[in-house]
Structure 1
Amino acid sequence: MTQNSGQPLPQPPVAKKVRTVRTHHGDSFEDNYEWLRAKESADVVEHLKAENDYQEAVTAHQEPLREALFQEIKGRTLETDLSVPNRKDGWWYYSRSVEGKEYGIHCRVRAQDSGDRVADWTPPAVEAGVEIAGEEILLDGNVEAEGQPFFAVGGAATTIDGNLFAFAVDNAGDERFTLRIRDLRTGELLPDVIENVFYGIAFSPDGTRVFYTVVDDAWRPHQVKAHVLGTPVSDDEVIYQEDDVAMWLGFDLSADRRHLVLGIGCSEFSETRLLRFDAPGAGLQTVISRDERILYEAEPFLLDTGAGTDAGTPQERILLTHNKDAINSMVSLLDPAELAKPLAEQHWATVVAHSDDIRVNGAGVTSTHLILSVRQDTIERVQVMPLAGLGTPAQGPIVEPVFEEVLYTAGVAGSDYEAPVIRMGYTSYFTPSRVYDFVLPTADQPAGVLLLRKESPVLGGYEPSDYVATREWAVAVDGTRIPLSVLRHASVAQDSTAAGLVYGYGSYELSMDPGFGIPRLSLLDRGVVFVIAHIRGGGELGRHWYDDGKKLQKKNTFTDFLAATDWLAGSGWVDPARIAAMGGSAGGLLMGAIANLAPEKYAAIVAAVPFVDALTTILDPELPLSALEWEEWGNPITDADVYAYMKSYTPYENVRAVAYPKIAAVTSFNDTRVLYVEPAKWVQRLRELTTGNEPIVMKIEMDGGHGGASGRYVQWRERAWDYAFVADSLGATELLPGAGLK
């Protein structure tokens, strides 16, 4: 890659070497760049700015392409738009976006009740750019962000009576939020201000308390606290504190808002504790102890069992989604009285039996139905069944909304306990996001009714038929078939000349589900064949797919990605010399690993907020989130085998003297999940050892967090930067004939 002027590239910044030796299990590793961790050091900040200067010089010739990509993203996006109103209690809530403004505006209008339940839950007709009579603005992100380097909302909640609105704002990008409360009757902020809260806010049903989460020094949520409005924050009650450094803590309200539900756990086992709002003096009740090593979620609710003397009187029950003797999880129904017995003696009624082919992701309730989220054949689906007869032989049928496409994603986007409908989101690779209301089945409508409320408009003459998405399969080194989603412009010929990009993640049981993306169209319009590799470590094919790509099986994630690359190289679509790779966070670790394993397979690699110094991080439990990573990678502090296995693949330790391709590491100074120091060290070591001449750059957002900078226009430019780097590296900068904005 050379500048348009033909002048040689500037020299990259060279960090000084300060020898540090890390020794564990009798093994020593010399690290010359650990000093870059000193975030407050003027030398570190100066070095990072020099990295940005170098990156800007190296990629300056890409600026016209970046601007073209940005304009294409902007030109396809309806900038003045609004969400479909969602009813909660007596109000319809929605958000607006306005052309030229970075952030959303959160609004509401009062709902009306006519007695026709479906009509009362039909959202009002709202128009982009048109104010509705009675509209109230709850939060204008553009006003809140004024004069701030960063802006993000970490949670919001409204009291049942609709009078108070709580919201949490981050102005640094470090995901530590300030919670404030607005009286919506007057528009004034209450004096209550709570600093350094984590994601998630909820009011008590009576509106007198607000619940929030606090992180510890390692950025692990470890306390759930309650603030009584009008009292000093110093008096806030600690509802629960989790001291196990390997466990994550969160909370929610039960669907019927009768309980505060505390979720404590890791990816392998969990514990739920319940607090009844009508009996707070009873304290927290543990559903299943973590000592049983069961991974589960619990939802307390009232069920009309229709039996005996209790017929017609709803009884307390607990819905369990769990993996007890069920690797893909199942759903059971439990009488709370059973909790007094030893686990082996408890009776759990089966609601949804275990299946080797169907992964149960979760279950919830409305006042009339059970709502299931399941994954089958890589696709996430929503299913419902009536509560009547639940857990008995008289249990009702499972009903699933039917969609026409094969590769799609459908999920519950919100539901109210009393509503006769559930709100659903739907998307596919080339179907823009849709919002549906699914009218829950009744005797008159046993299949339910799917009502389309909105399809997000795409401007610029977008035609779904211009693009093709297919499911293909690569074969891993151990013979495992790896599902691929292959996306391309319909005019691309299968003549082995196109450019290709392989994207992957493969960690934490997260699935790369089908979804529409306007920025991606700009790559497809330039003839890039885009492959999403559904590799092990993700959750696309059930729990075993995840288990086979974690801890001492982690290398399967990397070799699966290489197999996906080999499939693309031999598919007949692309020139094998024109393939790039992209991934972020744990997918950035993947990028570092495949760069070391097979640098010759790639013309370019983009690693976003990359977890490339994973072993150093996890060996230090004082660093943010380190202890929580043991469940994913193993504990290299106590286990010599885990240490040796990790050291054999972690990117930073395994940089070697080979010719690396063009590499871009993209990061943020205030990221608390993957610290900027990881890519900063990695690029130094890459430049030190590479035998090739391709540039290795680091782009660092000095005011951003794990998701980059805030503001939609800024984020569009960041995506344009990533894609321009790829397209330029692959020689895919020109639009295909007839492609692009119309």
Structure 2
Amino acid sequence: MTDARIDRPRPSQPPVARRRPVSEQRHGVTLVDDYAWLRDEHWREAMHDPSLLHADIAAYLQAENDYTDAHMAPLSSFRQRLVAELRARIAERDTSVPTPDGDWYYYVRFREAGQHPIFCRAPRAGNDDRPADAPMPEDGLDNEQILLDGDAEARGRAYFSLGAVNHSRDHRLLAFALDERGSEAFTLHVRDIETQREVQPPIPNTTGNLMWSADSATLFFTTLDDNHRPCKVWRLALGDAPESAELVYAEADPGFFVSVDTTQSDRFILIHAHDHATSETRVIDSATPWDAPRLIAERVEGQEYSVEDDGEYFVLMTNADGAEDFKMVRTPIATPAREHWQTIVEHVPGRLLLDHVEFAGFRVRMERADALPRIVITDKTSGEDHAIRFDAEAYSLGIAPGYEHDTSTLRFIYSAPNTPDETYDYDMATRERQLRKRRAVPSGFDPRAYVVRRLHATAADGAQVPVTLIHHVDTPIDGSAPCLLHGYGAYGISEAAAFSSSRFSLIDRGFVHATAHVRGGKECGYRWYANGKLVHKPNTFSDFIAVAEHLVATGYSAAGRLVPHGGSAGGMLVGAVLNQRPDLWGAAIADVPFVDVLNTMMDDSLPLTPPEWPEWGNPRDDVAAFETIRSYCPYQNVQAQAYPPILAIAGVSDPRVTYWEPAKWVAKLRAHKTDSNPLLLKTHMAAGHGGLPGRFTALEETAMIYAFVLDAFNKAQYSQDDEAGPDPIRANEVY
């Protein structure tokens, strides 16, 4: 074994995508796309059946895969070592903390070597006498019933992913959603729990989102239109043919998606219609599921609200009336319109409300201030509030409200970058917390061996950008360490300072791991999001660069030793900063990257385009949005300059970031870049946005990413005894 990049053999010349220029005029600008041909005319059909991909396109994607495989072949032994390392940090046999519902405990477990979850239940009688802090038996509770065995269901299927898995209110039936292609088009199934017989003809082409009525006789679900958008809500009497389902709600605006949910009390079925800035909710009493839905409040552009009920009132969290960081209101169930809204939790600028749950005697809300989360509980009898918080510099909190409404127990999950997930049951009346489970990391993980810090970088306009980082105590902070810098910054999604066992394969080899909480997320309130979208989107990229420069200035890394890593919209971030500051990066990972933003946002036939105009702007109709997006779009701004080693990952079945975006981007980079660094494209020919399914199969992709990154810094090992791999690519072959 030797250092990876020393005298390392290289594969032959990479494949070259043929240029077939297509031009169009937009707002007085001529746009020329040399690689538009990589978008298959019949992409919708190919998304569901990749074998239908046009032969020329399939040949090019396969040539890129072959080139990637040949480049990575000398690292095959090292990659398998990484897989073993990653797997050693995962408990092979694992069980979640049981969640009570009526006479049952429901939970999920994994068997040894199992790839997929096993959904189980056991009677509370006979299991209630277990001490709360007793470890869960690896094989489940006494008198366990297996409701759905994911490993058995996956057997014989090329792809397997579950959507919702919901038991009926009477505990007799189990409804579950299954995706067999990675395209996120789910088929719904319903089984009798006792007999395991299917009692409902399968319902195809759904979103995987479903809800039961109170009497367990009616299913609510959502379906996709021809553009793969969730647009209709249906109800179906259990056992009836899918074609007899009754349409409950159809969304006329292609920019709005629909979904179904319930309040914590299970009293109401909720029908949501929403884009990224506006929402509207209708309700149906779950006890009378065939009633017409009632509107809570009509949509107002730029205003959102979410709905719970406390028996007498609907309780809403909303940004209406200038409450930028949200407030809470209540409104009578009989007359819920806006004129009846009464504020019960005031808006406080800088304190962002994130979520809320109504229990019978307690109101729970999640909020974030100073980029750190906390849980606030209100006793409905006394009106007194108290908060659950932690003292770590950076940490993550999440609520797991469970099935019960009349309870004083709140379950929440805490973690930090050096602290595996801890599941607590919290008595909201006595304020006592009980640790129910600490995530096992079997390889001898010691949290004390790692340093976690929360830093702030100063952006170009003076904004203070939070940074969460973790490194080994022995890693020198003298500018010599490489740093993997993760970012996202879109849709208001905040990057949690949570635990990940995988990243220690880098950290233990001397890497600093940092997360840049850039604008476009909501880490610092709703304004943090607003200042990273639409015309302000460039802030996302300049924030990320400011973080990189701060890590260099403070000795955590050095220019040329940072690795930007992001997926989807985070992949767009990677593409943008590669164009803008290529000198900062020593390698880059772009996972299903949204890099062809301008072309995608001008094509309203694509699944996500109209719903995402409030996020990015509508460059088709708005010249200002056109110019803004064109200024940062990674594909549009590829130029003749040196780029670092780049690994891009795509999926043919991906409905969110279509495969041709990373394929076109890589083809254009190949034609323009002036360096000889590796540029690899790995396209999953039978998977989608989520990558490879299965908890252990997914590690193969992580190991590929880490091997690529470690190789870029001479921290990988390769063996000349490893097969070089097939090399079907002839020099200068053009596709």
TM-score tier after normalising by the smaller chain length: over 0.9
**Contact 2:133–2:435, Cα closer than 8 Å, also in 1:** no
Give the superposition deviation at 1:323.
Answer: 3.5
Of 346, 350, 360, the match for 1:357: 350
Q: Which residue of 2 aligns with 1:713?
A: 696
Q: Distance in 2 between matches of 1:336 and 1:228?
A: 26
Q: Which residue of 1 aligns with 2:27?
A: 25
Q: Give deviations 1:290-335, integer Å, cap 9, x for gaps.
A: 1465211122331xxxxxxxxxxxx344444443221000111112
Give the superposition deviation at 1:94.
Answer: 0.9
Q: Which residue of 1 aligns with 2:308?
A: 299
Q: Flag the 1:195–1:123 CA change in 2: closer, same or farther, 3 A.
A: farther
**Contact 1:90–1:162, Cα closer than 8 Å, also in 2:** no
Give the superposition deviation at 1:397.
Answer: 1.6
Which amino acid in 2 is paired with 1:397?
E
Q: How is 1:184-333 mapped onto 2 (pairs within 5 angstroms)?
A: 184-279=193-288, 283-291=292-300, 293-302=302-311, 315-333=312-330
Q: Which residue of 2 aligns with 1:366?
A: 359
**Contact 1:218–1:626, Cα closer than 8 Å, also in 2:** no
Q: Distance in 2 between matches of 1:241 and 1:284?
A: 12
Give the superposition deviation at 1:547.
Answer: 0.3
1:79 matched to 2:92? The reply is yes
Give % identity.
Answer: 35
Q: Which residue of 2 aligns with 1:507?
A: 490
Structure 2 residue matching 1:434: 3-state secondary structure: strand
Gaps of 5+ in 2: 44-52, 718-735
Structure 1 residue matching 2:599: 3-state secondary structure: helix
Of 45, 48, 54, the match for 2:58: 45
Q: Flag the 1:332–1:191 CA change in 2: closer, same or farther, 3 A.
A: closer
Q: Distance in 2 between matches of 1:428 and 1:487?
A: 10
Which amino acid in 2 is paired with 1:528?
F
Q: Distance in 1 between matches of 2:27 and 2:149?
A: 54
Q: Distance in 1 between matches of 2:78 and 2:100?
A: 43
Which amino acid in 2 is paired with 1:152?
S
**Contact 1:410–1:426, Cα closer than 8 Å, also in 2:** yes
Q: Flag the 1:280–1:454 CA change in 2: closer, same or farther, 3 A.
A: closer
**Contact 2:645–2:712, Cα closer than 8 Å, also in 1:** yes
Which amino acid in 2 is paired with 1:513?
A
**Contact 1:96–1:128, Cα closer than 8 Å, also in 2:** no
**Contact 1:176–1:198, Cα closer than 8 Å, also in 2:** yes
Of 441, 461, 476, the match for 1:478: 461
Q: Distance in 1 between matches of 2:384 and 2:313?
A: 23
Of 639, 657, 665, the match for 2:622: 639
**Contact 1:659–1:692, Cα closer than 8 Å, also in 2:** yes
Give the superposition deviation at 1:497.
Answer: 1.4
Of 92, 99, 103, the match for 1:90: 103
Of 616, 620, 625, the match for 2:603: 620
1:411 matched to 2:398? The reply is yes
Which amino acid in 2 is paired with 1:331?
M
User: Which segment is superposed worse, 697-706 or 163-172?
Assistant: 697-706
Q: Give deviations 1:31-85, integer Å, cap 9, x for gaps.
A: 1111111152011111111111001112223323322221111112211111111
**Contact 2:576–2:633, Cα closer than 8 Å, also in 1:** yes
Q: Which residue of 2 aligns with 1:456?
A: 439
Q: Flag the 1:281–1:670 CA change in 2: closer, same or farther, 3 A.
A: closer
Q: How is 1:381-420 mapped onto 2 (pairs within 5 angstroms)?
A: 381-388=374-381, 396-415=383-402, 416-420=404-408
Q: Distance in 1 between matches of 2:301 and 2:184?
A: 33
Which amino acid in 1 is paired with 2:362?
H
Q: Flag the 1:126–1:164 CA change in 2: closer, same or farther, 3 A.
A: farther
Give the superposition deviation at 1:131.
Answer: 4.8
Cα RMSD (Å) of the superposition? Answer: 2.0
Q: Which residue of 1 aligns with 2:77?
A: 64
**Contact 1:318–1:336, Cα closer than 8 Å, also in 2:** no
Q: Distance in 1 between matches of 2:677 and 2:563?
A: 14
Which amino acid in 2 is paired with 1:167?
F
| Alignment size in residue pairs | 703
Q: Distance in 2 between matches of 1:469 and 1:549?
A: 26
**Contact 1:81–1:96, Cα closer than 8 Å, also in 2:** yes
Q: Give deviations 1:404-438, integer Å, cap 9, x for gaps.
A: 42311111113321222111111110110111111
Q: Which residue of 1 aligns with 2:476?
A: 493
Q: Distance in 2 between matches of 1:401 and 1:134?
A: 35
Which amino acid in 1 is paired with 2:672?
L
Q: Which has the higher contact order (CA 8 A, sep 6+)?
A: 2
Give the superposition deviation at 1:637.
Answer: 1.3
Q: Flag the 1:281–1:122 CA change in 2: closer, same or farther, 3 A.
A: farther
Q: Which residue of 2 aligns with 1:564?
A: 547
Q: Which residue of 1 aligns with 2:169?
A: 160
Q: Give deviations 1:131-173, integer Å, cap 9, x for gaps.
A: 5331111111111111111111111111111101011111111
User: Which segment is superposed worse, 659-668 or 273-282?
Assistant: 273-282
Structure 1 residue matching 2:310: 3-state secondary structure: strand
Q: Distance in 1 between matches of 2:413 and 2:10?
A: 50
**Contact 2:393–2:453, Cα closer than 8 Å, also in 1:** no
Q: Distance in 1 between matches of 2:136 and 2:363?
A: 33
Give the superposition deviation at 1:348.
Answer: 3.0
Q: Flag the 1:271–1:469 CA change in 2: closer, same or farther, 3 A.
A: same
Q: Give deviations 1:632-687, integer Å, cap 9, x for gaps.
A: 00111110110111111101111011111111101112111101110000000001
Q: Distance in 2 between matches of 1:686 and 1:365?
A: 52
Q: Which residue of 2 aligns with 1:106?
A: 119
Q: Distance in 2 between matches of 1:291 and 1:571?
A: 46
Give the superposition deviation at 1:276.
Answer: 1.8
Structure 1 residue matching 2:187: 3-state secondary structure: strand
Structure 1 residue matching 2:385: 3-state secondary structure: coil
Q: Flag the 1:165–1:546 CA change in 2: closer, same or farther, 3 A.
A: same
Give the superposition deviation at 1:3.
Answer: 6.9
Structure 1 residue matching 2:283: 3-state secondary structure: strand
User: Which segment is superposed worse, 288-297 or 644-653?
Assistant: 288-297
Which amino acid in 1 is paired with 2:607?
P
Q: Distance in 1 between matches of 2:610 and 2:130?
A: 45
Give the superposition deviation at 1:5.
Answer: 6.0
Give the superposition deviation at 1:127.
Answer: 3.9
**Contact 1:439–1:449, Cα closer than 8 Å, also in 2:** yes
Q: Distance in 1 between matches of 2:207 and 2:132?
A: 31
Q: Flag the 1:264–1:426 CA change in 2: closer, same or farther, 3 A.
A: same
Which amino acid in 2 is paired with 1:452?
L
Which amino acid in 2 is paired with 1:70?
V
Q: Distance in 2 between matches of 1:6 and 1:728?
A: 10
Q: Distance in 1 between matches of 2:715 and 2:549?
A: 20
Q: Distance in 1 between matches of 2:636 and 2:393?
A: 42
Structure 1 residue matching 2:17: 3-state secondary structure: coil
Q: Distance in 2 between matches of 1:417 and 1:254?
A: 9
Q: Give deviations 1:563-611, integer Å, cap 9, x for gaps.
A: 1111112222323332211111000000110111011111111000000
Q: Which residue of 2 aligns with 1:421?
A: 409
